[in-house]
Amino acid sequence: MECSRCLSNQTIQSLSLDTNNICQFCKIHDEMDKEYPLNDNSEKKLFEISKKIKKKGSKSKYDCVVGVSGGRDSTFLLYYIKKILNLRPLAVHYDNGFDSDISVSNILNICQKLDVDLETNVADWQTFKKITRSFFKAGVSDPDTPTDVGIFKTMYQTAYREKIKYVFNGHSFRTEGIEPLDWTYMDGKYIKEIYKKYGDGDLTKFDNFYISDIIKYKIISGIKTILPLNYINYSYDIVEKILKDEVNWNYYGGHHHESLLTKFVVSSYLPKKFNIDRRLTSYSAMVRSNIISKDDAKKILQEKPISEKDENNLKEYILDKLDLSQKEFENIMKMKNKNFRNFKTYYNIFKYFKIPVKTLYKLNFIPKLLYLRYFG
Ligand SMILES: [Zn+2]
């Protein structure tokens, strides 16, 4: 079973193909393409948006918050905001203890070269370690969800504190794609449930994101999300060259390998335990966007994402850091595979709120893609 257009296949449990064998993710892509068409006007639109943002932020020190990981997309986003849009961003970084050395130097280099203020939120390591370990012990496919939630919370609480009304996000549906919910699901209640069952349940030192946060940051404070990369023709080759030449940026060897935890999850844990190759999401997106041919993308996916030696070293490092023994990890690998559908989450409530959530995206409070991922 495979989509006739992109690479989506039966490794996605919720895959649904229509009579023409087109998958639901291709349809979401087309919806997004209608909202963010690429033409001579698209970048102009972005300039208009940034004009409004400048006006709104004229009394504050910063115009917007940008999350940075040292990866290509977030580094380019910061570059674009500062150099091309001429906005005054505050860069924020969530340090979960798994940053690679390259990603740290990437972050410091760009902030220094472009004279951007950087704020780093260092996660409470003991708590973060236990939460991430509980995700492995639960046998779910998204042990990097606590990281994503921490990043999310860090961006919003910083914006809130500094009275900044815009959070910029470096996602592009044309290159990054649409990750199936069954693979990666993000919600504070999900974390709470897993940590209650497989950890000690005390989340006071973790930057979790609850429904009350959505109300506080989105509805009361009106902080909006902007996704600039959806408006521009975004080519990895060109972007990497700019970043290397202008801000001393270095590549870390693979998709999402800027964090050692994510590198382990995407290149070893998920393929081995779940038969999930998350590269499929981004390569499917690039096939839909005509950036790469389907045949070429398939060839790349046949290559191992990591060498055996690198994989063994990485595994040893991660298990040691998370205080997981080899035996415990072997048991995790043999456990029944689970995902968010096996736990109590906000999804059970959200699915009855399609109309209000649609309103939120129409008002730019949440990205359209987020809406489509959950309700599309
Ligand atoms: Zn498809």
**Rounded distance from Cα 8 to ligand 1 centre (Å):** 5
90 φ, ψ (degrees, to nearest 5): -110, 120
Provide mean pLDDT across the span 226-240. 91
Residue in the structure block whose two tokens are 């492995």: 136
pTM > 0.75: yes or no = yes
Percentage of the residues of the chain whose pLDDT score is greater than 70: 100
40-351 maps to CATH 3.40.50.720: no
pLDDT tens for residues 109-164?
999 999 999 999 999 999 999 999 999 999 999 999 999 999 999 999 999 999 99
Q: Given this model, what pLDDT does residue 10 score? A: 95
pLDDT over threshold 90, residue 59: no
Residues ≥6 apart with Cβ < 8 Å to 257: 100, 263, 266, 267
Listed residue (87, 47, 360) closest to 223, CA to CA: 360
Near ion ligand 1, which residues have CB within 5 Å? 3, 5-6, 8, 23, 26
Query: What's the whole-number average pLDDT of the chain?
Result: 94
Q: Given this model, what pLDDT does residue 364 score? A: 75
Q: Which two tokens stand for residue 367?
A: 């990205």
Contact at 8 Å (CB) between 88 and 175? no
User: What counts of helices (H) and strands (E) characterise the chain?
Assistant: 17, 5
**Rounded distance from Cα 234 to ligand 1 centre (Å):** 21
Q: Given this model, what pLDDT does residue 302 score? A: 95
User: What is d(CA 234, CA 159) in angstroms, rounded to the nearest whole number?
Assistant: 27
Rg (CA), the chain: 20
Locate the domains of the chain by residue range. Answer: 40-351
pLDDT tens for residues 309-327?
999 999 999 999 999 999 9
Length of the chain, in residues: 376
**Rounded distance from Cα 213 to ligand 1 centre (Å):** 34
Categorize the per-residue pLDDT at 347 as very low, low, confident or very high, splitting at 50, 70 and 90. confident
Amino acid type, 259 = S
User: What is d(CA 118, CA 66) in angstroms, rounded to the nearest whole number?
Assistant: 10
Listed residue (14, 363, 365) closest to 182, CA to CA: 14
Q: Which two tokens stand for residue 197?
A: 């069952």
User: What is d(CA 187, CA 348) in angstroms, rounded to the nearest whole number?
Assistant: 11
pLDDT over threshold 90, residue 368: no
Q: Given this model, what pLDDT does residue 221 score? A: 94
**Rounded distance from Cα 287 to ligand 1 centre (Å):** 9
